[in-house]
């Protein structure tokens, strides 16, 4: 059975030093209960692959505050002062990756593609010490696929087999990360019986999801609340 | 000198009917306010949306609906949603007609630096490095000089690059400059400045277009 009854049960097997992928863009679509669970579990020396690193007191930011993260692989971390402090002081190892390259590295990893060529980063520090090759007169840099010991994702709705459907821009990195975890844990707002999701509408097929847990009370914090004047 | 809004207004003229456009964070986001309402333009947000709409009303506010700048937004009718890999596939694959981005420095061969000041700030490049190689046309909008009055359009960028030889056009508060295979060409000068003024506040070599026009802030 994939359905988990507690967050700590869902996180079983995550130990110090592991590599964890975490879905979300900014604070949207982050697996907020699983992140809180990692905080409570106290595992440390984690390598975390996530587009962003939360804010100081929410999302992955709470793991940073708690010194649980050894290395971050991200594309943009500008919303987090503690991140900047730990990075500039050398406490935190950071691999900054162009966002599209990060997405494709995760997609490739999950799809069994060990590496691929992309134009992003050619002629910049990103391409230093990497293999480059010219195709049709244009230079590309070789980037490797990424996989993780665990992938933590958040979906809007899931069924007990682990099929997932995301909501609006909360989809972002979640579906690709679901494919790249040796064990993928999905938290959902609504868990439904098998057969109630329209197969044509499933975003993440159940094969990628090993554990699923439903939680109520999502905070869904808004980083920049902009409304019509 | 053009205001931020006037720069955005000028940049909006780069957009043509039917375009799919990606607008960067900051002043580029303001460009959306000046797209003529009779044009069918679809704005891409690299977090996974084609068809950014206006900011929501209090009633429409949805925490699952943001743009790449993490601002709450709405969708236009005809919008579509997708994951991050798909989003950058359409960017890298050359399907986006135009990207309008901010810049810290631009060089005379079109190198762009807009993501990092060594030792000072670490934010990350986000999607900028993918965008500059993917969109069919790259327009950069920026202030012509920095807060110390020093040129930002240089012979060679001093900051770490976002992309090499990627910029097509530079729109500043003082001028519009094209990046050509022969170097930079001054194509528009903002009212109140002379060609000599622009050359004086630009470190890179500038040639002057035979069809040079004056740009008036609207």
**What are the chain A neighbours of B56 within 8 Å (beta carbons)?**
226-228
Residues of chain B with pLDDT > 70: what percent? Answer: 100
Tens-place pLDDT, residues A207-227: 999 999 999 999 999 999 999
Tens-place pLDDT, residues A138-193: 999 999 999 999 999 999 999 999 999 999 999 999 999 999 999 999 999 999 99
Q: Do A126 and B69 touch (CB under 8 A)?
A: no
The better pLDDT of the pair A62, A88 is held by A62
Nearest to A69 by CA among A41, A91, A85: A91
Confidence (pLDDT) at B61: 97
**What are the chain B neighbours of A26 within 8 Å (beta carbons)?**
47, 66, 70
Confidence (pLDDT) at B165: 97
The better pLDDT of the pair A81, A23 is held by A23
Return the axis-axis angle of helices A99-110 and B84-92, rounded to nearest 10°. 120
Encoded tokens for A162: 């682990």
At residue A87, does pLDDT exceed 90? no
Domain ranges of chain A: 7-214
Tens-place pLDDT, residues B45-104: 999 999 999 999 999 999 999 999 999 999 999 999 999 999 999 999 999 999 999 999
Residue A214 CB neighbour total at 10 angstroms: 18
Evaluate if pTM is beyond 0.90: yes
At residue B4, does pLDDT exceed 70? yes
Average pLDDT over chain A reads 96
Overall domain count for chain B: 1
3-class SS of residue A150: strand
Contact (CB, 8 A) for B169 and B176: yes
**Dihedral angle, C-alpha A174, A179, A181, A183, nearest 10 °:** 100
Give A136's contacts (C-beta < 8 A, 6+ positions apart). none
Q: Which among B45, B64, B122 is the nearest to A167, CB-wise?
A: B64
The better pLDDT of the pair A3, A83 is held by A3
Known catalytic residue at B46: yes
Give A12's contacts (C-beta < 8 A, 6+ positions apart). none
The better pLDDT of the pair A79, A103 is held by A103
Residue A88 CB neighbour total at 10 angstroms: 13
Q: Do B62 and A27 touch (CB under 8 A)?
A: no
The domain in which residue B11 lies consists of 4-215
> In the predicted model, what is the mean pLDDT of residues A82-92?
87
Q: Do A100 and B129 touch (CB under 8 A)?
A: yes
At residue B212, does pLDDT exceed 70? yes
Confidence (pLDDT) at B121: 65
Tell me the CATH number at B49. Answer: 3.40.1080.10
Confidence (pLDDT) at B57: 97
Give B33's contacts (C-beta < 8 A, 6+ positions apart). B5, B8, B12
Q: Alpha helices of B66-157 — where are they, by DSSP H?
A: 84-92, 128-134
**What are the chain B neighbours of A103 within 8 Å (beta carbons)?**
83-85, 87-88
Give me the CATH code for the A7-214 domain, please: 3.40.1080.10
> In the predicted model, what is the mean pLDDT of residues B189-197?
97
Tens-place pLDDT, residues B29-46: 999 999 999 999 999 999
């Amino acid at each position: 059975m994939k359905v988990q009854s507690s967050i700590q049960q869902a996180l079983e097997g995550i130990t110090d030093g592991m590599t964890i992928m975490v879905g979300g863009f900014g604070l949207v679509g982050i697996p907020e209960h699983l992140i809180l669970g990692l905080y409570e579990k106290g595992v440390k020396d984690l390598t975390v692959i996530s587009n962003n690193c939360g804010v100081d007191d929410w999302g992955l930011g709470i793991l940073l505050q708690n010194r649980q993260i050894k290395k971050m692989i991200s594309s943009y971390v500008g919303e987090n002062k503690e991140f900047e402090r730990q990075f500039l002081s050398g406490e935190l190892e950071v691999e900054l990756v162009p966002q599209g390259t990060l997405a494709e590295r995760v997609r490739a990893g999950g799809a069994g593609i060990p590496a691929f060529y992309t134009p992003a980063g050619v002629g910049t520090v990103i391409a230093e010490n990497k293999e480059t090759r010219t195709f049709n007169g244009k230079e590309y840099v070789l980037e490797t696929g990424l996989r993780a010991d665990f992938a933590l994702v958040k979906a809007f709705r899931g069924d007990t087999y682990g099929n997932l459907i995301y909501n609006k821009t909360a989809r972002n990195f979640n579906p690709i990360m679901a494919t790249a975890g040796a064990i993928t844990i999905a938290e959902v707002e609504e868990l439904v019986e098998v057969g109630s999701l329209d197969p044509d509408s499933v975003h993440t097929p159940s094969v990628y999801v090993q554990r699923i847990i439903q939680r109520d009370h999502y905070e869904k914090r808004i980083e920049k609340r902009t409304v019509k004047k | 000198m053009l205001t931020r809004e006037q720069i955005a207004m000028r940049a909006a003229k780069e957009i043509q009917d039917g375009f799919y456009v990606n607008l960067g964070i900051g002043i580029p986001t303001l460009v959306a306010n000046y797209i003529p309402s009779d044009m069918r333009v679809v704005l891409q947000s690299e977090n996974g949306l084609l068809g950014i709409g206006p900011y929501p009303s209090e009633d429409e506010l949805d925490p699952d609906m943001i743009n790449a700048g993490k601002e709450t937004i709405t969708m236009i009718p005809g919008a579509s949603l997708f994951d991050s890999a798909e989003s950058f596939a359409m960017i890298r694959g050359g399907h986006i007609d135009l990207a309008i981005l901010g810049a810290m420095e631009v060089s005379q061969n079109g190198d762009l630096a807009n993501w990092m000041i060594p030792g000072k700030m670490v934010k990350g490049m986000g999607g900028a490095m993918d965008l500059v190689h993917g969109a069919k046309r790259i327009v950069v909008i920026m202030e012509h000089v920095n807060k110390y009055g020093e040129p930002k359009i240089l012979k060679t960028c001093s900051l770490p690059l976002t992309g090499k030889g990627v910029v097509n056009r530079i729109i500043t508060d003082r001028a519009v400059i094209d990046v050509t295979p022969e170097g930079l060409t001054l194509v528009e000068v903002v009212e109140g400045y002379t060609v000599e003024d622009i050359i004086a506040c630009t470190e890179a070599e500038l040639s002057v277009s035979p069809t040079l026009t004056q740009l008036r802030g609207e």
